Copies of this chain bind each other. A is one copy, B any other.
Amino acid sequence: MAKVNQTILLKMQSPVALIPQLAGHLIASGGKRLRPMLTLATSKMCGYEGDRHAELAACVEFIHSATLLHDDVVDESDLRRGLETANAVWGNKASVLVGDFLFSRSFELMVADGSLEVLAILSNASSVIAEGEVLQLTTANDMDTTEDSYMQVIVAKTAALFAASCEISAVITKGSKTEQAALKSYGKNLGIVFQLIDDVLDFSAEQEKLGKSVGDDFREGKVTLPIVLASRRGSEEERSFWRRTIEDLDQTDADLKTAIDLMNKHGALKDSIERARHYGAIAKDALAIFPDDDYRKALTGIVDFCINRAY
């Protein structure tokens, strides 16, 4: 990971000073580096001995950072990981453009690596992510969103990059098609777990301990799984509460507590975590074809870690 961090710092440099300033603010602000870690761990599990994995892990983190910068603009967020967002400090314009820079730089790094297969996987993931983000935009504030359409959004906007960050390890280690598919499946399902728990955490007091505010999704009218489940299982009166707060964004300070109470009444948070366990089990089983070494143990451990964030 030290090598990855070094590459990230080196490659985000530019004679235009605002670029490393703004990118550094985001990248140095204590992200978990989960995606690049997946590239490193999966390639090591596949017996990789070279050093391309660190450069490609940096590419993955650049794509992720670019989407975060654009996400914060789209969501009009002021806080990320307890710190002011880049758009809050430097404005939306700079965030959009530095996001574009990181995205382009990521492709430059992949081109330097030289694998068209890796480029195919990550360019496809990038367009799927963008599609997912647009889809999320069109389903926001829509209480007709089903669990299926919610899943469609998170598979695209989150799981696609997790999947790609693992799948590229099969390319650089010249793994079999079976191994490549297994790594992709592990990454995809882990990504689903991660996003499900993230969406649960938005309604959890645990969130505050992480320096994040509770109820951000609720205030924006994002229809995440806890809301889908609570509303579907609720009474007609409760559904009119959800329509008022999520569709009309007509909210009072007391509404967030009511929302969480309704979720607990209908087991919506608990069952969202149960859904995450289901995808977590698939992720772990996908790894079963690999030798049960320390890297595989670490990768199954990440699944549990993601689920346990909810508690």
Contacts from A to B (Cβ < 8 Å): 14-19, 66-67, 70, 73-74, 92-94, 96-98, 100-101, 103-105, 107-108, 110-112, 114, 116, 119-120, 123-124, 126-127, 129-131, 133-135, 137-138
Contact = CB atoms under 8 A, between A and B. Distances in A.
Contacts of A19: 131, 134
A124 B108 contact: yes
22 contacts: A16-B135, A18-B137, A19-B134, A70-B96, A70-B97, A70-B100, A73-B93, A74-B96, A94-B134, A94-B137, A97-B133, A100-B130, A101-B127, A101-B131, A101-B134, A103-B130, A104-B130, A107-B107, A108-B120, A110-B123, A111-B119, A116-B116
Contacts of A107: 107, 119, 123, 126-127
A103 B103 contact: yes
Given A107-B126, A111-B116, A127-B108, A97 B137 contact: yes
Nearest to A136: B97
Contacts of A101: 127, 130-131, 134
Contact of A18 (B93, B111, B123, B134): B134
The 4 lowest CB-CB distance pairs between A and B, nearest first, are A104-B127, A101-B130, A104-B126, A107-B123
Nearest to A113: B116
A103 B120 CA distance: 14
Contacts of A14: 131, 134
Contacts of A135: 16
Contact of A73 (B67, B96, B112, B116): B96
A120 to B, nearest CB: 5
Contacts of A134: 14, 16, 18-19, 94, 97-98, 101
Contacts of A126: 100, 103-104, 107
Which of A108, A119, A120, A131 is the most central at the interface, judged by chain B CB atoms within 10 Å of its CB?
A: A131
A97 B130 contact: yes
Contact of A138 (B16, B67, B110, B138): B16
A92 B134 CA distance: 12
A98 B130 contact: yes
Nearest to A115: B116
Nearest to A157: B97
Which of A101, A105, A114 is the most central at the interface, judged by chain B CB atoms within 10 Å of its CB?
A: A101
Contacts of A104: 123, 126-127, 129-130
A193 to B, nearest CB: 24
Contact of A100 (B93, B103, B120, B124): B103
Nearest to A133: B97
Which of A15, A100, A124, A138 is the most central at the interface, judged by chain B CB atoms within 10 Å of its CB?
A: A100
